[in-house]
Amino acid sequence: MLSTPTAAAIYARISSDPEHDQLGVTRQLQDCRAQAERRGWHVVGEYVDDDISAWSGKPRPRYRQLLDDISDGLVGGVIVWHLDRLHRHPKELEEYIEVCEPRKVPTVACVSGDIDLTTADGRLIARILGAVARSESDAKSRRIRRKHEELAQAGKMGGGGTRPYGYQADRRTIEPAEAAIVREAADRILAGDSLRSLANDLSRRGIGTVSGKPWSVQVLRRMLLSGRISGQREHHREIVAAGDWQPIITPERTARLRALLTDPTRRTNRTARRYLLAGLLRCAVCDSRLVARPRGDGVRRYVCAKGPGLPGCGGVAIMAETLERFIVEAVLHRLDSPALAAALAGAQAPAESARLAQAERDASSAELEQLAAAWGSRQITWPEYLAARKPIEARIEAARRTLARESQVTALEPYVGASSALRERWADLSLARQHAIVAALLDRAIVRRAVRGRTAFDESRVEPVWRV
């Protein structure tokens, strides 16, 4: 026990990313203060930066102050909610290590636990956490870019010289009958009608597009998103200037249509959100598989689902984002463990068993074909065919399972002992690939009930069961 309590600094940062930043700064500070109390640390300062665009590299005055105070010996320990609050770039982390290491100033992160930057292991974990946070941020900018491209396309009216709907062939004089439809469409969408029902209704009334085809949801959406109908020019989807043609609706209505039609929560019928750990999580209470189920406000979760036809107990739910981050960290960390390298090196046998399984599968498939041919040429009866088919299919299934197991190990091989290579590429890997790598290492993770009143991610709730 220390004779004098550590003089602790709390650092918090407000960022604008609502998906990532579920916790407001108040929450961050509360968790950090509780952490200080648990450790018997005396909080000497709270440093809060308002960092609206988290990855822009904007200066953070309070963070600089914190570094100065550590250098001056005023701070003996740092508490943050998560390391990603502290550092946005690897070079910031390295600078931070340079300041803290010689002074033996520990850093405590409420989410990921103690990270002792004075040891090689601690620094490794910090770097992994940083890489994971950065890849999330990269993914976010990719998402934004994609959205921009989509909207830019949406702004282009029709293809190849067709006149825009609502205008005559000179592309600037209003075509009154069509303009009335544009106004009606805008009114109805702004009033809460869906694109689908609007398109159906126009079809029913025999109203088609410029080329006379029925309106599709996509074409309708593109038209309503365009700046053209309110007499505005676009460049890369952004409205850049007033045009010199007649507007059908006001720019204000276009702005509202754009806000409405590009609202991500509106896209309920789009592809389901992605769940990295689908199939890998078990309920600690009833051992059911957790299923992906977003909360009412769209926040991704895994839950033990209870209901008709569902085996679960309904007692466990966990936020997907932080859990996935935690598991990925753990996987990357484990890839570098000597135990894993040894386990895989000793697995000479898998290659052999994979060869056998492959041979078995090929032979059985050939038998199945012969059998079908025998039935086709009436050498055997249908019941005979069915009876003979069963054991062959069982052999094929067994071989398939063996091969699947082996290929999971193969997914890992290039990265064993080289997790830094994987870390760099992680964000660029497809979800299927990421899932294969996680599943190759992780047999399952058992998720316990939340402790009442604890809303921050609590890693003690999760028990990974490793395959290798």
Do 232 and 255 meet the contact criterion of CB atoms below 8 Å apart? Answer: no
Based on the shown chain and the rule CB under 5 A, indicate whether residue 285 belongs to the binding site for Zn ion: yes
Using DSSP, state whether 106 is helix, strand or coil: coil
Based on the shown chain and the rule CB under 5 A, indicate whether residue 286 belongs to the binding site for Zn ion: yes
Q: Residue 235: beta bridge partners?
A: 238
For Zn ion, what does the binding mask look like between residues 230 and 269, x meaning CB under 5 A? ----------------------------------------
List the one residue from 304, 340, 422, 468 that touches Zn ion (CB under 5 A). Answer: 304
| Nearest residue (CB) to Zn ion, 316 versus 327 | 316
Select the span of 280-288, 293-301, 371-379, 453-461 touching Zn ion (CB under 5 A). 280-288
List the one residue from 283, 320, 399, 437 that touches Zn ion (CB under 5 A). Answer: 283
Select the span of 5-13, 140-148, 306-314, 354-362 touching Zn ion (CB under 5 A). 306-314
Select the span of 31-39, 123-131, 283-291, 367-375 touching Zn ion (CB under 5 A). 283-291
Select the span of 33-41, 185-193, 238-246, 304-312 touching Zn ion (CB under 5 A). 304-312
| Nearest residue (CB) to Zn ion, 132 versus 290 | 290
Based on the shown chain and the rule CB under 5 A, indicate whether residue 313 belongs to the binding site for Zn ion: yes
Based on the shown chain and the rule CB under 5 A, indicate whether residue 319 belongs to the binding site for Zn ion: no
Which residue reads 């399984």 in tokens? 357
Distance CA 22, CA 16 (A): 10
Based on the shown chain and the rule CB under 5 A, indicate whether residue 290 belongs to the binding site for Zn ion: no
Do 450 and 461 meet the contact criterion of CB atoms below 8 Å apart? Answer: yes
Shortest approach of Zn ion to residue 314 CB, angstroms? Answer: 7
Which of 271, 162, 158 has its CA nearest to residue 216? 158
DSSP string, 191-257: TT--HHHHHHHHHHTT-B-TTSPBPPHHHHHHHHH-SGGGTEEEETTEEEEE-SS--SS-HHHHHHH
Distance CA 409, CA 418 (A): 15
Shortest approach of Zn ion to residue 288 CB, angstroms? Answer: 5
Using DSSP, state whether 416 is helix, strand or coil: coil
Based on the shown chain and the rule CB under 5 A, indicate whether residue 276 belongs to the binding site for Zn ion: no
User: How many residues belong to the site for Zn ion (CB under 5 A)?
Assistant: 7
Residue nearest to Zn ion (CB): 283
Distance CA 466, CA 158 (A): 54
Shortest approach of Zn ion to residue 452 CB, angstroms? Answer: 17
DSSP string, 368-405: HHHHHHHHHTTSS-HHHHHHHHHHHHHHHHHHHHHHHH
| Nearest residue (CB) to Zn ion, 32 versus 303 | 303
| Nearest residue (CB) to Zn ion, 161 versus 308 | 308
Select the span of 63-71, 276-284, 317-325, 347-355 touching Zn ion (CB under 5 A). 276-284
| Nearest residue (CB) to Zn ion, 68 versus 463 | 463
Distance CA 239, CA 216 (A): 24
b/e code 456-468 from CB counts within 10 Å (16+ = b):
bbebebbebebbb
Based on the shown chain and the rule CB under 5 A, indicate whether residue 312 belongs to the binding site for Zn ion: yes
Q: Write the secondary structure of 287-318 as one string of H (helix), E (strand) and C (coil).
A: CCECEECCCCCCCCEEECCEECCEECCCCCEE
Which residue reads 């932080």 in tokens? 322
Shortest approach of Zn ion to residue 449 CB, angstroms? Answer: 9
Residue ranges in contact with Zn ion by CB under 5 A: 283, 285-286, 288, 304, 312-313
